[in-house]
Structure 1
Amino acid sequence: MKNTVIPCLGAATVAAALLSAPALAVELTIACGAVGIERQVCIDGANRWAEQTGHSVDVVATPQSSTERLAMYQLLLRERHNTVDVFQIDVIWPGLLGEYLLDLSPYVPDTDAFFPNLMANNTVDGRLIAMPWYVDTGLLYYRKDLLDRYGHPVPQTWDELETIATDVQLGERSQNGNFWGYVWQGSDYEGLTCNVMEWLVSSDAGTVVSTQGVVTLDNDRAARIIDQAAGWIDTISPPAVLEYQEEDARAQFEAGNALFMRNWPYAWRLANEPESAVSGNVGVTVLPQGDSGMPSGALGGWQLAVTEATRYPALSADLVRFLTSESEQRRRADFGYLPTRSALYNEPELTQGNAVFEPVGRALENVAVRPSSATGRTYKYVSRYVSGEIHEVLRGTKSTSDALASITDRIVERGLGDLQRP
């Protein structure tokens, strides 16, 4: 008889391990990864679980496009197919897919080890329908050499960023007419929604729609920070930033044409590649805070969920538990996948080898969660309202007060759940 390893990981894990005898071995299916490292680290983790339990896992490749991946998931989940047991889902999909997913809370004994905001994002109608696997959040990149040259510290507030960017931009323009103080994502798409959420949460201005379903956007603090952001256009940010997405901002920064850049953690490694004009001169930190807020960053990343249609709920949940375990998150960190367990951000062997760990850990303490769980299936409309209306403000074709009132009215008039004005 094959020896079975039964680690001391709680009743659910022990029960699953007891099913590992060859006669009862089953094959689970997980949809995760598309190509390259993302797919391989998923395969490696699934194989490690299989070795411990005696079961097997079939890893199904998913489309690279998030839109195509979501369409695939919706088809399988709505039709109650059990051909896939575990799904890798985007951080903004719990509210959209929650009704088809298993409540994992009975199967995961250490939920308090994860950042609370991440767990709250994955809890829909009191049900924990996904576990956070790895995380992304918005960060501020800066030119260390230029801050030193002009005698400026790393900015702590948006006001400081504005002042420093203005001064350094003025000085650098004599050598580089294409130089700007700050590049970010101003195009009318989900990336602008992320930027807006960071402005709001860092200024203690609410989250557009609260977890109680109240539209919180139309307030003085929100108006103040959005007015400030609109003032960056053609002063410290190029007019073209209104069409920028992540790669556009990165291209300008790596070409040496910007002092500051807002981007995701992936940009750290790329900014320091040999072909980058700023390699070796880049620093990274949390995004600034407003007058009355705290540093923040928009929450991104991927979660693991189990379909309610699975024939093996306990085993599928145990696979999720294993893949989000401390050992697996530590292993995945070697490939640049940032952990969702708060304690790992205090481990020197991890943080010293990756400069983004410390600022990501700080940002996650006050992370800007998009209101996807609160608005469920209708989040896509809320995000379109936010990015579309705020884009008009940035372009100078609509006032901030009109845009905030319009977004609020459109959300309420659409009747999204129990949404109401505060």
Structure 2
Amino acid sequence: MLRQRVHQHCGWLLLRRRGNVTINSPEAIAGLQVLIDGFKDGYIPTEALEWKEEDGRNAFESGDLLFYRQWPYQYANNVAALGEEKFGVAALPTIDGKDFVPTLGGHNCGISAYSKNKATALKFVQWWTSQESEKYALETQTLAPILGSLYEDSEMLEQFPYLPRCASPSTPPRGGRRPFPMVT
């Protein structure tokens, strides 16, 4: 959650593209202050410090939380538990009028430089990231797709009206392809 608050202030948490450590930047400090104030003022419950994702979802669904930051895979659970009339999706609030910065991620695939089966691994990655596979994961598990085309697919938008809130076309992707020869 700290990372999202820092991004809301248009900052980076640890490293910029040039490798400079920025943990104490004004943006990172402002993002951390939002969290500190949330606990101090009581709009973030102290129990949340120990919650795992499902603990937070359960608190939200039982009415103990008005807002809950969650990952797209929980969308189907919330709609089933609460109904569309009691549940909606919105972007995280912006800070100081800055643009919304999506922080969706975690759908990475990689092949170890030490793999003995690189060709097979590549075939798997190509299948896993294909439109057919991504669409299936979205339809059956409400997992956020990695393919931008599915965020604009009218059929998918009908089923999953929250998709435009997960990505911002005006926000360029951060980083880029970097060689990580020893990362699995």
Per the normalisation by structure 1, the TM-score is 0.37
1:315 Cα deviation (Å)? Answer: 5.1
Give 1:209's aligned residue.
Answer: 15
Question: Could you give the per-residue CA deviations for residues 114-153 of structure 1, whole angstroms, max 9, x where no partner exists?
Answer: xxxxxxxxxxxxxxxxxxxxxxxxxxxxxxxxxxxxxxxx
Contact 2:2 2:31 in 1 (8 A): no
Select 1:284's aligned residue among 63, 83, 89: 89
Contact 2:13 2:28 in 1 (8 A): no
1:333 Cα deviation (Å)? Answer: 2.3
Amino acid at match of 2:61: E
Amino acid at match of 2:133: E
The yes-or-no answer on 1:263 pairing with 2:70 is yes
Contact 2:22 2:28 in 1 (8 A): no
The yes-or-no answer on 1:295 pairing with 2:108 is no
Contact 1:198 1:368 in 2 (8 A): no
Give 1:333's aligned residue.
Answer: 138
CA distance, structure 2, for counterparts of residue 285 and residue 225 of structure 1:
19
Give 1:219's aligned residue.
Answer: 25
Contact 1:299 1:368 in 2 (8 A): no
CA distance, structure 1, for counterparts of residue 170 and residue 72 of structure 2:
13
Corresponding residue SS for 2:23:
coil
Corresponding residue SS for 2:109:
strand
1:313 Cα deviation (Å)? Answer: 3.9
Amino acid at match of 1:358: P
Q: Which has the higher strand share?
A: 1
1:198 Cα deviation (Å)? Answer: 0.3
Contact 1:330 1:339 in 2 (8 A): yes
Contact 1:208 1:217 in 2 (8 A): yes
Give 1:304's aligned residue.
Answer: 109
Q: In the superposition, relative to structure 1, how do residues 363 and 252 fare at CA in structure 2: closer, same or farther (>3 Å)?
A: farther
Contact 1:286 1:362 in 2 (8 A): no
The yes-or-no answer on 1:242 pairing with 2:49 is yes
Corresponding residue SS for 1:284:
coil
CA distance, structure 2, for counterparts of residue 247 and residue 330 of structure 1:
24
Q: In the superposition, relative to structure 1, how do residues 308 and 352 fare at CA in structure 2: closer, same or farther (>3 Å)?
A: same
Per the normalisation by structure 2, the TM-score is 0.77
Give 1:230's aligned residue.
Answer: 36
Select 1:254's aligned residue among 37, 61, 72: 61
Q: In the superposition, relative to structure 1, how do residues 338 and 345 fare at CA in structure 2: closer, same or farther (>3 Å)?
A: same
Give 1:320's aligned residue.
Answer: 125
Cα root mean square deviation, aligned? 3.1
Question: Could you give the per-residue CA deviations for residues 42-97 of structure 1, whole angstroms, max 9, x where no partner exists?
Answer: xxxxxxxxxxxxxxxxxxxxxxxxxxxxxxxxxxxxxxxxxxxxxxxxxxxxxxxx
1:311 Cα deviation (Å)? Answer: 5.3
Give 2:167's aligned residue.
Answer: 361
1:351 Cα deviation (Å)? Answer: 1.6
Contact 2:134 2:145 in 1 (8 A): yes
Give 1:347's aligned residue.
Answer: 153
1:245 Cα deviation (Å)? Answer: 2.7
Give 1:196's aligned residue.
Answer: 2
CA distance, structure 1, for counterparts of residue 121 and residue 91 of structure 2:
36
- Larger relative contact order (Cα-Cα within 8 Å, sequence gap ≥ 6): 1
Amino acid at match of 2:149: A
CA distance, structure 2, for counterparts of residue 265 and residue 240 of structure 1:
23
1:222 Cα deviation (Å)? Answer: 2.3
Q: In the superposition, relative to structure 1, how do residues 367 and 282 fare at CA in structure 2: closer, same or farther (>3 Å)?
A: farther
1:259 Cα deviation (Å)? Answer: 1.6
CA distance, structure 2, for counterparts of residue 357 and residue 340 of structure 1:
11
Amino acid at match of 1:279: G
CA distance, structure 1, for counterparts of residue 55 and residue 174 of structure 2:
23
Amino acid at match of 1:355: P
For residues 112-131 of structure 1, the aligned pairs below 5 Å read none
Q: Mind listing any 5+ residue stretches in structure 2 that lack a counterpart?
A: none
Question: Could you give the per-residue CA deviations for residues 290-347 of structure 1, whole angstroms, max 9, x where no partner exists?
Answer: 2264323434333333344455544542442233122332233222232211122111
CA distance, structure 2, for counterparts of residue 356 and residue 327 of structure 1:
20
For residues 406-417 of structure 1, the aligned pairs below 5 Å read none
Q: Percent identity?
A: 21
